């Protein structure tokens, strides 16, 4: 996988933030020529995501460092598993330890939560998709982690998909007018409209929307919306989606279920980096 320059720059800035002008403790304790081997050890069960970026941390610090990966991205690892190792200068290992772990723990947490949502709707046609509710400047990483957990990506940003939301509709005046304007500018792009009730669903369909997002609607209304659409548009459920209710929503027959929690509420998993003899 080719890592985008924006992510490489992000890692550079994370290292600058952590190391600053130098690691005081390590420089006092560890001779420059000292070399070590360190293992990434799973301290709990989780879905793995982020090792290519953890490896990049050490490539930036010292290209001569060796980084060996033992599990594929998206693999389900068990507590006690060694998922990777890094070999080279001890000073470099200690300098990159926290940044590499922060990335790996955070992305594996997102992948793990995504996997739980995907598992909860297994056997149904709906897809779990993410949102733009991501950490600023870390969207590429976090959406990558969603995919590693078996989820799918919604639009990346404002530039790669037309999504007419309630504020757009309020500003323009109506769903019909908003869709008309959107069709006039991007004839190759699909148009998605966010609605909050069945009346607006009908208006969106009649206006020529390709996808309709049902925002914070009840399960019974979602079920009715699927019946009304009758395959004429892609139906996406959004808002208030939790692990406890995601299967009920998927059973209504929706095509997509967007879950902001995948990225804004995922808990980092527990991984240690341990120097061994």
Write out the catalytic residue numbers. Answer: 98, 133, 165, 194, 215
Cα-based distances in Å from 214 to 40, 155, 233: 42, 17, 12
Are 132 and 41 a contacting pair, CB within 8 Å?
A: no
DSSP element (H, E) containing 56: helix 51-61
Are 270 and 101 a contacting pair, CB within 8 Å?
A: no
Strand partners, 195: 214
Half-sphere exposure of 133 (CA within 13 A, CB side): 15
DSSP element (H, E) containing 83: strand 82-89
């Amino acid at each position: 996988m080719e890592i985008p320059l924006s992510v490489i720059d992000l890692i550079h800035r994370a290292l600058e933030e952590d190391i600053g002008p130098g690691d005081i403790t390590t420089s006092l304790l560890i001779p420059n020529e000292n070399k070590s081997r360190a293992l990434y050890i799973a301290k709990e069960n989780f879905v793995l995501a982020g090792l290519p970026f953890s490896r990049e941390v050490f490539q930036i610090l010292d290209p001569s460092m060796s980084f060996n990966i033992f599990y594929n991205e998206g693999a389900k690892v068990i507590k006690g598993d060694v998922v990777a190792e890094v070999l080279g200068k001890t000073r470099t290992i200690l300098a990159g330890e926290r940044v590499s772990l922060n990335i790996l723990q955070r992305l594996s947490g997102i992948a793990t939560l995504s996997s739980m949502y995907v598992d909860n709707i297994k056997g149904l046609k709906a897809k779990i998709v993410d949102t733009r509710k991501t950490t600023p400047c870390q969207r590429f990483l976090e959406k990558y982690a969603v995919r590693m957990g078996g989820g799918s990506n919604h639009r990346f940003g404002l530039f790669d998909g037309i999504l007419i939301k309630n504020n757009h509709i309020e500003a323009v005046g109506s769903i019909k007018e908003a869709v008309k304007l959107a069709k006039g500018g991007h004839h190759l792009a699909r148009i998605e409209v966010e609605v909050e009730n069945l009346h607006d669903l009908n208006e969106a369909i009649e206006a020529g929307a390709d996808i309709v997002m049902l925002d914070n609607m009840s399960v019974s209304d979602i079920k009715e919306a699927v019946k009304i659409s009758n395959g004429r548009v892609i139906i996406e459920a959004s808002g208030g989606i939790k692990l406890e209710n995601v299967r009920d929503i998927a059973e209504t027959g929706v095509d997509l279920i967007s879950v902001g929690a995948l990225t804004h509420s995922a808990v980092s998993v527990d991984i240690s980096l341990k120097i061994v003899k």
